[in-house]
Amino acid sequence: MRRDYVTAFFALMGSFLLVYILLPIFLIIGKQLLDFEMLVKTLQDELVIESLKNSFLTSTATMLISLIFGVPLGYILAREDFRGKSIVQGIIDVPIVIPHSVVGVMLLVTFSDAILDSYLGIIMAMLFVSAPFTINASRDGFLAIDERLEHVARTLGASKLKVFFTITLPLAMPSILSGAIMTWARAISEVGAILIVAYYPKTAQVLVMDYFNNYGLNVSRPISVILILLSLFIFALMRWIAGKRNVEA
């Protein structure tokens, strides 16, 4: 059997990015475990606990809002042709290219004191930068479904809404769940826009920057490790649930 040198070369080249991603994660966790007492002390800090709760609650709320509004939009983009459709799809991707500090400024200019230093402001900042993941994943999920299945159900007397909930939505659910997971992940990683819109109530990602600026690397490291571990755990759990649902489907 001939050796596949091309595949081996590509795997070697691609592994660079894997190592680049994993190395900082392992190093920061490993170094913090050497100072386990500081990690425990940080976990007993009420401000840290409160900021973690704020982060996870607001990112989860953001994910749910993006599902409520993003899935219908994804369906329209997948099933309907209309004038300006390409413009709509371009608008959806705009938040990805705008610097996040600029996003914060735009939101403040638009909504002013209504969102300043509030949970609403945090969620709106998260939603602006993360909603495209839900919309695009939903659109791709609906596009992957054979429209003939829907047409057959309609000819048998099912309403368009019933077809959507009984056929289209279940078949697209793996893609939708994948988009929801990425929306949640993007929301909980947001810092720049939140710093401008809602410095308070404090979220964990803002607290990390706060600790780093005021106390240095060693003090900000424990909360960083806690946030990494919790985020990875929840991210992996959601991936597992989505994967299990995909297998069952």
Tokens 């007492």 sit on residue: 37
Q: Taking phi first (over 0 means left), then psi (-120 to 50 degrees means alpha), and beta for anything else, what does residue 12 get?
A: alpha
Say what angle helices 36-43 and 217-248 make with each other, to 10 degrees: 70
Q: What is the pLDDT, as a whole number, of residue 246?
A: 62
What does each of the 249 residues of the chain score in pLDDT, given as a tens digit?
556 778 888 888 989 999 999 999 999 999 888 888 888 888 888 999 999 999 999 999 999 999 999 999 999 999 988 898 889 999 999 998 999 899 999 999 999 888 998 999 999 999 999 999 999 999 999 999 888 888 888 888 888 888 888 889 999 998 999 999 999 999 998 998 999 998 889 999 999 999 898 888 888 899 999 989 988 888 888 878 777 666 665
Instruction: Write the CB contacts of 111 (distance below 8 Å, at least 6 apart in sequence).
Output: 121, 124
Token duo for residue 96: 């990805």
- Give every CB contact of residue 131 below 8 A, 6+ residues apart in sequence: 66, 69, 70, 92, 95, 183
pLDDT at 42: 86
Q: Tell me, what amino acid is at 67?
A: L
List of domains in the chain:
54-203 (1.10.3720.10)
Q: pLDDT value at position 61?
A: 96
Q: Residue 117, Cβ neighbours under 10 Å: how many? A: 13
Q: What is the residue-wise DSSP string for 18-73?
A: HHHHHHHHHHHHHHHHTTHHHHHHHHT-HHHHHHHHHHHHHHHHHHHHHHHHHHHH
Q: Which amino acid is at 193?
A: A
Q: Can the peptide bond before residue 222 be classed as cis, meaning omega within 30 degrees of 0?
A: no
141: its two tokens: 């999920």
